[in-house]
Amino acid sequence: MKIAILLYDNYTALDVVGPYEVLSNIPGAKIYFTAEKPGLYKNSNGIQISADFSLKEVEGPEIIVIPGGFGIDAILDNKDILEWLNSVHEKSQWTTSVCSGSLLLASAGILNGRKATTHWNRVEQFKKYPVEFVNERYVKDGKIITSAGVSAGIDMALYLTSLVVNENFAKLVQLALEYDPKPPFDSGSPEKAPREIMEKFKNSRNKKIK
Amino acid sequence: MKIAILLYDNYTALDVVGPYEVLSNIPGAKIYFTAEKPGLYKNSNGIQISADFSLKEVEGPEIIVIPGGFGIDAILDNKDILEWLNSVHEKSQWTTSVCSGSLLLASAGILNGRKATTHWNRVEQFKKYPVEFVNERYVKDGKIITSAGVSAGIDMALYLTSLVVNENFAKLVQLALEYDPKPPFDSGSPEKAPREIMEKFKNSRNKKIK
């Protein structure tokens, strides 16, 4: 099973690696890190991940993963990427996104009239597209699954694994990743974060915040 | 703040990127991906992450992160790595591990007589060292923080962020990563996984399982 994960400058690394770590367990999975040009792609905090395939080299992936990140805005009008995305989406079994990656799907027209989600801080921007925003951890509409911010890609990928293989296999993967989350705080969404944290967030809008 | 993350062949990618994604938000953080030799390091599922620094180039990191993975066994007796680890640990503010990365700390003698944890499937191997195994998501003993399997590195790194900066800042990072986990299943630990899943796990011990 061919799984294409898009890279570009200034992706969010956990958007990429969360789904990678889960989906690569699917029997027969082969992951293709793909980008406009093969090479190393970094984000603003310094990690460099290799894109081993150009877009043209990745034909007919059964699963497509579009990660989010600050850099997403710079590729929302990129003709080559949009063309590739529309072409592979046509034949994919599953087209997915993490965080602000859903903006690229929206920009490609793939989400027109669809239910979908995104990072909570991108909702305003997301709603400018003809999309029905749903405030959930991940949203399935037909063969499209979008997920909320960054870490939500792990939950989405486990759900997708249960659809592609079966529930028991997805549980096996969850066990292997010891994904029994116990965050030390309960501040992972705007509804849960203390008001002072939300204020801080608004005042700290810089490169470091997705 | 210098943060060193060790790479080697067949690390688990989420062990690396979970803490990276959290800790890189610490004000002034500079992440050093380091390995015996600079270059691309891959794991068995195909991702390649660049180690930009040799061990010798990373002197005096305030934080050390040792990720786990299948490949950890191959470096448990690696003199150059053990020597570097002992030398940087001596002056570090925090020495941490994710998953089976704790085996390297144990092998270096750093965990002698300490409370620590590891991936649930590595406990037997871990107990061969003079370590007091504790079954927790992450365990702090002095300046050493070890965490359980793979995804536990995210929880550990948020906790560490609260110690290095403060709780409110850690909550801000949690919000930025929208880390409000909602796994579709509740199978993330041996205690929670259905018995049939545990049996499957035992029968599927191959390269794909951490």
pLDDT (tens digit, 9 = 90+) per residue, B15-66?
Answer: 999 999 999 999 999 999 999 999 999 987 899 999 999 999 999 999 999 9
pLDDT the model gives residue A203: 73
> At B201, is the pLDDT very low, low, confident or very high (cuts 50, 70, 90)?
confident
Strand extents, DSSP E, chain B: 2-6, 30-35, 39-42, 48-51, 53-54, 63-66, 94-97, 115-116, 132-133, 138-141, 144-147
| Dihedral pair phi/psi, residue B198, rounded to 5° | -60, -40
**Nearest chain B Cα distance for residue A58, angstroms:** 15
Residue A205: pLDDT band (50, 70, 90) is: low
Distance CA B68, CA B119 (A): 9
Give the range among B104-108, B147-151, B183-187, B191-195 with minimum mean pLDDT: B191-195
Q: What is the pLDDT of residues A62-81, one digit of tens each?
A: 999 999 999 999 999 999 99
Quote the CA–CA distance of B168 and A204 in Å, as a whole number. Answer: 13
Contact A45 B20 (CB under 8 A): yes
B79 touches chain A (CB under 8 A): no
Q: Which two tokens stand for residue A51?
A: 């894109």
Q: Which of A43-47, B137-141, B168-172 has the lowest mean pLDDT?
A: A43-47
> Strand A138-141 and strand A144-147: pairing?
antiparallel
Question: What are the angstrom distances between the C-alpha of A199 and each of B26, B76, B175?
Answer: 18, 46, 12
B24:A46 CB<8 A: yes
Per-residue pLDDT at A187 exceeds 70: yes
Q: pTM for this one?
A: 0.95
Q: Which residue has the tokens 């110690």?
A: B163
Identify any residues that bridge with A40 across adjacent strands, giving them in sequence order.
A50
A177 vs B contacts (CB less than 8 Å): 14, 149-151, 188, 210
Are residues B183 and A174, on separate chains, in Cβ contact within 8 Å? Answer: yes
Percent of chain B with pLDDT over 90: 90
Interface of B with A in 38-67 (CB under 8 A): 40, 45-50, 52
Q: Chain B within 8 Å of A154 (Cβ-Cβ)? A: yes
DSSP A32: E
Contact residues, chain B, for A58 at CB < 8 Å? none
Please compute Rg for chain B using Cα positions.
16
Minimum-distance CB partner of A170 among B154, B168, B185: B185
What are B60-101's pLDDT values in tens digits?
999 999 999 999 999 999 999 999 999 999 999 999 999 999
CB contact under 8 A, A181 and B188: yes
Beta carbons of B151 and A24 less than 8 Å apart = no
Q: Do B184 and A198 touch (CB under 8 A)?
A: no
- Please list every residue in chain B whose beta carbon sits closer than 8 Å to the beta carbon of residue A20: 13-14, 45, 47
Q: A67 Cβ partners below 8 Å, 6+ apart?
A: A5, A6, A7, A11, A12, A15, A16, A19, A97, A98, A99, A101, A153
- Cβ–Cβ below 8 Å for A21 and B14: yes
Q: What does the mean pLDDT of chain A come to? A: 94
pLDDT of res. A13: 97
At A133, list the tokens. 């925003």
Query: Would you call A74 an interface residue with chain B, using a CB distance cutoff of 8 Å?
Result: no
